[in-house]
Amino acid sequence: MKELTFETLIAVFDEMFGASLFWALVAIAGAVTLAYIYVLIRDRHISWSKFLLAQLSMPFGAVGAVLFLQAITHSQFSDIGGPIDVIVLLGVAAVGAVGMAILVYTVDALFFRKSSAAR
């Protein structure tokens, strides 16, 4: 692999997760992103109480993403072989944290609390 292209990443993730799980995750991420954009457009501002709750959920998303990745790849923490493995795990944790924050903010805005401007 001489070049890192978008097609190469798709192939690696498809092989790693399996086609059905990978595309299901892509579809879920797309749906949550569209719902988040809808909430931001609908509310026309960021609710700081929802934002705080979303930030508090970020560590759970980071840990969950790392554990999910290890379960899918049948890896253990003892299998970490070098700096690149640590960098990949930190990247997975960061993506999981941000994803969880977006999910919590969106679910809170759509299903649980009304915006303070709507009251």
Separation between Cα atoms, residue 84 and residue 102, nearest integer Å: 27
Mean pLDDT by 10 residues, the chain (119 residues): 81 84 92 94 89 95 93 83 86 95 94 63
Separation between Cα atoms, residue 66 and residue 105, nearest integer Å: 21
* DSSP symbol at 77: G
In this predicted structure, what is the pLDDT of residue 14? 85
In this predicted structure, what is the pLDDT of residue 33? 94
